[in-house]
Structure 1
Amino acid sequence: MKKIVLAILTLLISTAAVAQKANKRKADALFQKRSYLKAAQMYEQLKPTVEILQNLGDCYYNNYMMKDATRAYAQLYLTKKETDSIDKEYLFKYSHALMGIESYQRADSVMAVYLGFPVDTPKFKANLQFNVPYDYVIQPMAKNTGNGDFGLSFNGDKVVFASYRTAQGNYTWNEKPYLDLFEAVVDENEQLKRVTPFPKEINSKTHESSATFSPDGRFMYFNRTGDKQVEVGDDKFATLRLMRAEFVEGKWTNVTDLPINDNTFSTEHPVLSKDGRRLYFSSDRPGGEGSFDIYYSEVAEDGTLGQPQNLGNVINSKHREQFPFLSEDGKVLYFASDGHQGMGGLDIFYSRNYETGWDKPVNLGETINSSADDFAYVVNEKTDKGYLSSNRNKGTDNLYSFVRFENEASYMVEGEVRDKNTKNLLPGTTVSLFDENNNLVGTMVVGEKADYVFKTQPNKKYRIEAVKDFYIPHSEEFTTNEEGKMRYTIELFVECYDDAEEIITRRDDGKVQIQMENIYFDLNKWEIKPEAAGVLNTLYDLLVKYPSMEIELGAHTDTRATNTYNLVLANRRANAAVDYLANKGIERKRMKAKGYGEELPLIKCGDNCTEQEHSINRRCEFIILK
């Protein structure tokens, strides 16, 4: 009987293992085809391995189900502490998922690990209140917010947008119907009226969205998803393509697939400049900065398109830049991004084009951006009225109208922080602005591009200061004038200690050490001898010269005693050195005494050390902590 029971149990266990393995394969196949919600249902039933947690989090993240995405990524983040096999980009997604549920403190801590320097989103949002060009008042454009409306564009006195309100087909990504293009008018209450779908020549059995029109209304460029899935690496999906249609005798016809498309990448979100000579769009084609970048192509008289040109790394990041829109004069670009610092998901940014190129993007602020995806910004500059799309309402895309008002914060100082010698950007630097009475006006930790922006007032003196660990603090003074809305750009060049001082070097282990003569003590003593006082006086001068420098005074002994005795003796010697400097006026909080005893000898000679080797190991080291 025992053998029979054992055989049955073995069979059941084997069957369960096969079923789980089969489910894993099926879930992976669904995931690779981007059938995310069905894949998520299967992954939820499987043992949460690293791979499954990654895919499960992505299933929810790609459908803006951020509470569930946070749950999966949180498990993955805990696993990360035990293995180095996790792609760092999941930290980026985890942080954005946390921002999506407005857990900013946790999001900032995760993003700091991803970036390698501190992040403070609440302070970033507070600074934006003074630095954005406009404030916004927004409202939804439809009472029924479950239609998935997004991507509105102007077409004469009408508007065009995408929606799945016709409820045709089933898109496995989100289990919603396929998108079609619709035409409508906007009434005096900014609501959509007389909504009419485009004809079947435009609306196919797959997705259509993001229309833009030539100045004469003759041509329409829009998105259509390819009708066939193709394998790209391990994935299998249909790419987004740019189409062009012609309006002839009251009908849309001559729908053509543009030559800048390709089966292996997507080309999406077209917008024509107001003169119709440039077509801007987003694409994840090879050769970009990463993920989706914004490009443009010149439009010739005969309608042919030039080679796509990337807008460069001022606009584009390693993450998503999408939904471009151009001002009337073509000098201001509005776009959506999750790669520049924001409030979560896609935020709307603007950048101005000068003769030297595009200026660094500015987040439009929390009167229009939210913790969700905010995108597809369009504006009538004559009326300061416009539209955007957002999934801030339960994760579903909806259209919103807005009115914008000029922000009265018209004076600003901006710039970036660089290493004085290498000219490299220094993200993570703390930049502070002080008024003429040395009162703190504002402070921020600069992000990946090491840039800062502060509000100022006319006809005032200011001092701006940059502080970073292992660097000499640097400040500059400036005075504003009364010439209206201006931007002062100040480059803050800071110098690291080891470039400024010959006696400061960076060791192979990364620590920054002050190289000075050794401090000697009498045998079994810790009193500061005259020779040691001379060395410490040099250290005192250095600490006076750099008031923000913080150091560790580490004492090391030889091995001629017990470990415990040497550790106690080393701590007494380190504290004696600290006491000496404190008595000369150096604040104790800037100094850390550390006794290492015999733990870290320079020469590992054990019990066979010569007298000279013992003396080399018996030393004090001065390490810069900050």
Structure 2
Amino acid sequence: MIKRILLVIVLTFIGSGTLVAQERLIEKANQKYEEYSFSPAIDIYKKVLEKGFVTSDMLKKLGNAYYFKADYAEAAKVYKRLVDEYPTDLAPEYYFRYAQVLKSLGNYSESDAVMSKFTQMTSGDERAMAYRSERNYLEEIKANSGRYELKTFAYNSPYGDFAPSYYKQGLIFSSDRDTGNLARYRHTWTSKDFLDLYKVNVDSVSNNLVVKLGENINTRLHESTSATTKNGEVIYFTRNNLLDTKSEKGKKGIIRLKIYRAKLANGIWTEVEELPFNSDSYSVAHPALSPDDRTLYFASDMPGTLGESDLFKVTINQDGTFSSPENLGNTINTEARETFPFVSDKEILYFSSDGHPGLGGLDIFATKIAFGDLSGKIANVGEPVNSNLDDFTYIFNEETREGYFASNREGGMGEDDIYAFKEIEPLVLECIQQITGTVRDKISNEVLVGATVMVINEDNVEISNTITNSNGDYSLTVDCNQGNFVRASTEGYTPAEEYLGISDGKPKIIDFYLERETITAGFGDDLAKLLQLSTIYFDLNKYNIRKDAEIEIQKVVAAMEKYPSLKIQVNSHTDSRGPDAYNLWLSQRRAEATVNYMVSQGISKDRLNGEGYGETRLVNSCGNGVKCSSEEHQLNRRSEFIILE
């Protein structure tokens, strides 16, 4: 009995000792995981699993470690085990990542099933909404595929090569190729040598050697993803956060990424400085410049980030300072990873993402961002640039239709390789052009309120319409990837239209001046009624032309300029108040003043005549002694423009 008790005690001690040892290993693995040192974390987790010790938390971290290392086959195995064994202990994010790795392995039907589960578990998630609205995303990707011819990039190595960027007549790219660095400077995230920046003149046969950038740029830790100004004199690049050549760790011991800037002087990069919006609490990486070098785009997980990493931008001021970072918004950014931006000369933003519907892993997407519009449709650039693994750091020269990108797809020389490409057919992106303007009467210049302005395509099909507001203004949009007619019309006028061909989408102002439809007019007709003139008023007991009357008379002047044979007589009238003889004299003076004003505007005197009728032609019953309102009397104080010829 005593032996049995001793045996139980020994076994219990051994078991508890084993448990303590496993817990210590897991604690060490978790520490590596929190530091983003995924490779050693994986090694430790695997040892613990081999001992038969397993928890859902450990499987989650192991699956994520494989996922962020882009080892999608192993990640799929771990995520499947999680889904099968711990379905009630999983946040939606694990279903999303499981769907992504299945897609990377080509299991699209299984991926869709898991993604459907993800959408059921979430509400308002950008990725779920995109999946629901783009269930035919594979067809859309197929439509964009086959437009590229891939070429060999002669400067790849058996190591990792990625992040090409244009520099003068060549490229700068990042590599962990053997440069003599000691093994102790290995980056634990990927278990590779630390990255440095290299340059190569890809257009020159005689100067095509790969050359490492100077020591002011490259250090003993990471340098990657660069962008240079058009003149090649300023470079922005990504680096681990450093202080006095020693890495400074942020929260939880994580080494963050920062963007640095340097200037070229006498062939040497100098004045290396980190940008002011860097932080030891989050990463800022992967710079890209706008065509005018005045806006810097980058990826970050700073506060305000929607997902694991978002795309941001800052304005570069004339004095070299920067505006505050601005998130590019939830049309571009999702709850997953958006990273590696590039902006073409036509202001098309290319970036990598695993949040938008793609083929698996990181895919390359494109969207127009001209004129600050960040709401355009996001398009997957398609195969063969995109694959079921990670495709990233895309750059493109729209003049030559050539470019480069990197991928960890099968068949490469190293784990990451740079690929050159030629675009055979352009990618058709959503192009929304803003059209604004005013609709007016061509003769009188009067604004036309309530006029209809419509967009009609080249097949004569109405696409959209709007009406002018109280100022005669309108605003609408057109698809600038195709030709359109913009047509204005309103009752009583002949419609007018303007054709807009395929364009770059810049806002355009189109003002319409509509001509009245042909109206039978002849001797004795009142031109004021035909032109819908407002009443021409005179001050009490005065006959000078007031400012408001000038506006109406100018419309008559415009009609007489348009029709040189037109002759008119100006008939002026008064109301019945005041002596009859005085009213007759006053109306004659007002008619003559109107004629003299029109002559001063260039109308020949022999085309005009003026006649005052006093109160002899009242339009109502407000004669002498009849009590009428002021409004009723006003109807009689009028001028007529009677057609004589």
* TM-score normalised by length of structure 2: 0.61
1:274 corresponds to: 291
2:159 corresponds to: 147
Shift of 1:290: 2.1
Report the number of matched residues.
Answer: 423
Contact 1:290-1:317 at 8 Å conserved across structures: yes
**Paired residue secondary structure (2:84):** helix
Aligned residue among 44, 47, 50 for 1:45: 47
1:371 corresponds to: 388
Shift of 1:42: 1.5
1:138 corresponds to: 150
2:423 matches 1:404:
yes
1:97 corresponds to: 101
Contact 2:234-2:262 at 8 Å conserved across structures: yes
Q: Which amino acid aligns with 1:56?
A: L
State the distance in 2 between where 1:103 and 1:337 align: 19
Q: Using a 3 Å threshold, how does the CA distance of structure 1 residues 124 and 141 change in structure 2: closer, same or farther?
A: same
Q: Using a 3 Å threshold, how does the CA distance of structure 1 residues 289 and 9 change in structure 2: closer, same or farther?
A: closer
1:87 corresponds to: 91
State the distance in 2 between where 1:396 and 1:123 align: 32
1:163 corresponds to: 175
1:113 corresponds to: 117
State the distance in 2 between where 1:198 and 1:485 align: 43
Aligned residue among 199, 216, 222 for 2:231: 216
2:348 corresponds to: 332
Q: Using a 3 Å threshold, how does the CA distance of structure 1 residues 153 and 80 change in structure 2: closer, same or farther?
A: same
Shift of 1:387: 0.3
Matches within 5 A, 1:400-549: 400-406=419-425, 459=459
- Gapped runs of 5+ residues in structure 2? 121-127, 433-456, 464-480, 485-500, 505-645
Deviation by residue 1:485-533 (Cα, 9 ceiling, x = unmatched): 699xxxxxxxxxxxxxxxxxxxxxxxxxxxxxxxxxxxxxxxxxxxxxx
Contact 1:162-1:179 at 8 Å conserved across structures: yes
1:62 corresponds to: 68
State the distance in 2 between where 1:301 and 1:413 align: 31
1:236 corresponds to: 253
Shift of 1:406: 1.6
Q: Using a 3 Å threshold, how does the CA distance of structure 1 residues 222 and 356 change in structure 2: closer, same or farther?
A: closer
1:291 corresponds to: 308
State the distance in 2 between where 1:413 and 1:214 align: 27
Shift of 1:105: 1.3
2:141 matches 1:128:
yes
Contact 2:156-2:418 at 8 Å conserved across structures: no
Contact 1:109-1:119 at 8 Å conserved across structures: no
State the distance in 2 between where 1:181 and 1:272 align: 18
Contact 2:367-2:429 at 8 Å conserved across structures: no
Contact 2:250-2:256 at 8 Å conserved across structures: no
Contact 1:104-1:121 at 8 Å conserved across structures: no
State the distance in 1 between where 2:134 and 2:300 align: 28
Contact 2:297-2:341 at 8 Å conserved across structures: yes
Q: Using a 3 Å threshold, how does the CA distance of structure 1 residues 143 and 251 change in structure 2: closer, same or farther?
A: closer
Q: Using a 3 Å threshold, how does the CA distance of structure 1 residues 461 and 130 change in structure 2: closer, same or farther?
A: farther
State the distance in 2 between where 1:171 and 1:91 align: 29
Q: Using a 3 Å threshold, how does the CA distance of structure 1 residues 410 and 386 change in structure 2: closer, same or farther?
A: closer
State the distance in 2 between where 1:351 and 1:2 align: 74
Q: Using a 3 Å threshold, how does the CA distance of structure 1 residues 26 and 274 change in structure 2: closer, same or farther?
A: same
Deviation by residue 1:560-595 (Cα, 9 ceiling, x = unmatched): xxxxxxxxxxxxxxxxxxxxxxxxxxxxxxxxxxxx
Deviation by residue 1:580-623 (Cα, 9 ceiling, x = unmatched): xxxxxxxxxxxxxxxxxxxxxxxxxxxxxxxxxxxxxxxxxxxx
Contact 1:348-1:363 at 8 Å conserved across structures: yes
Q: Which amino acid aligns with 1:161?
A: F
**Paired residue secondary structure (2:186):** coil
State the distance in 2 between where 1:283 and 1:339 align: 15
Shift of 1:91: 1.1
State the distance in 2 between where 1:263 and 1:41 align: 28
**Paired residue secondary structure (2:264):** strand
Q: Using a 3 Å threshold, how does the CA distance of structure 1 residues 201 and 193 change in structure 2: closer, same or farther?
A: same
* Aligned alpha-carbon RMSD (Å): 3.2
* TM-score normalised by length of structure 1: 0.62
State the distance in 2 between where 1:138 and 1:297 align: 33
Q: Using a 3 Å threshold, how does the CA distance of structure 1 residues 355 and 32 change in structure 2: closer, same or farther?
A: closer
Q: Which amino acid aligns with 2:267?
A: G
Q: Which amino acid aligns with 1:162?
A: S
State the distance in 2 between where 1:71 and 1:13 align: 29
**Paired residue secondary structure (1:181):** strand
Contact 1:410-1:485 at 8 Å conserved across structures: no
State the distance in 1 between where 2:429 and 2:156 align: 42
1:305 corresponds to: 322
2:191 corresponds to: 175
State the distance in 2 between where 1:356 and 1:144 align: 37
Q: Which amino acid aligns with 1:87?
A: A
2:265 matches 1:253:
no
Larger Rg: 2
Contact 1:337-1:346 at 8 Å conserved across structures: yes
Contact 1:131-1:412 at 8 Å conserved across structures: no
Aligned residue among 55, 74, 77 for 1:71: 77
Q: Percent identity?
A: 33
State the distance in 1 between where 2:204 and 2:137 align: 36
Q: Using a 3 Å threshold, how does the CA distance of structure 1 residues 322 and 481 change in structure 2: closer, same or farther?
A: closer
Contact 1:206-1:226 at 8 Å conserved across structures: no
Deviation by residue 1:152-196 (Cα, 9 ceiling, x = unmatched): 01111121000001352211112110000001122589x993001
Shift of 1:121: 9.0
Shift of 1:104: 1.3
Matches within 5 A, 1:189-200: 193-200=208-215
Shift of 1:231: 4.4
